[in-house]
Amino acid sequence: MRSAIHWAVLGLLIERPGHGYDVLQRFDSAYAGVIELSTNSQINGALKALAQRGMIERLPTDEPGPDASARPRTRYRPTAKGLRDYEQWLHSFSPRSADAPGVFARQVAVLPTATALSVIERYEQACLSETSMIRVARTQASAGGRDGDPLEAQLISEEKHLALAAKIQWARFARSRIQALASRQARGRESQS
């Protein structure tokens, strides 16, 4: 599945089950200016596609509201397959991704802490690997081993290096925040025992 909208909808349902209009409202709030919908019906299309793939399932319909003529709304929640696929997708997230800032962070934030830590660790390792490749490219460029303008190669290399350094710093920050949350949750469970 390649659609950023579908993954975003699945993440929203992992965060909290909901119906189409609810998901649309949360999508607009969470991804405004980052992932654009051409029409609101894309949310219903995403729900249908996710259900067909076995990634979400319908919950029992809501009870009718005060207006007896109103149709009950179909609510959705992720399936075990949907949770696994979402985690696998985030584990494969590349530091080369052109996703706007905040999308990956938002999508990691809905995961259980242990899974979020695993995803962050994998992401940081991918960033470090990319940094190593840039170092090799820098060495080749400075030695004149690459065709083209050496200045251009140096500028591009430095831009990539700085972008990756920021991603590595973010991954370390994210890990510390997730670990702090896990510690607070563990203390809370201990105090309830």
CATH, range 4-64+73-97: 1.10.10.10
78-82, 84-88, 145-149: least confidently modelled range:
145-149
pLDDT (mean) for 155-164: 87
Query: Which segments of 16-112 does DSSP mark as H helices, in order?
Result: 20-31, 41-52, 80-91, 103-109
Helix (H, G, I), strand (E, B) or coil at 101: coil
pLDDT (mean) for 87-116: 87
Per the model's pLDDT, the better-predicted residue between 65 and 179 turns out to be 179
Q: What is the DSSP letter of 99?
A: P
CA distance 42 to 25: 13
What band does 12 get if pLDDT is binned at 50, 70 and 90?
Answer: very high
pLDDT of residue 132: 86
> What is the rounded average pLDDT for all residues in the chain?
87
What band does 68 get if pLDDT is binned at 50, 70 and 90?
Answer: low
What would the two tokens of residue 44 be?
A: 């219903």
pLDDT (mean) for 168-192: 92
pLDDT of residue 1: 84
CA distance 165 to 114: 24
What would the two tokens of residue 99 be?
A: 């996703």
Domain boundaries along the sequence of the chain: 4-64+73-97, 112-192
Q: What is the DSSP letter of 93?
A: -
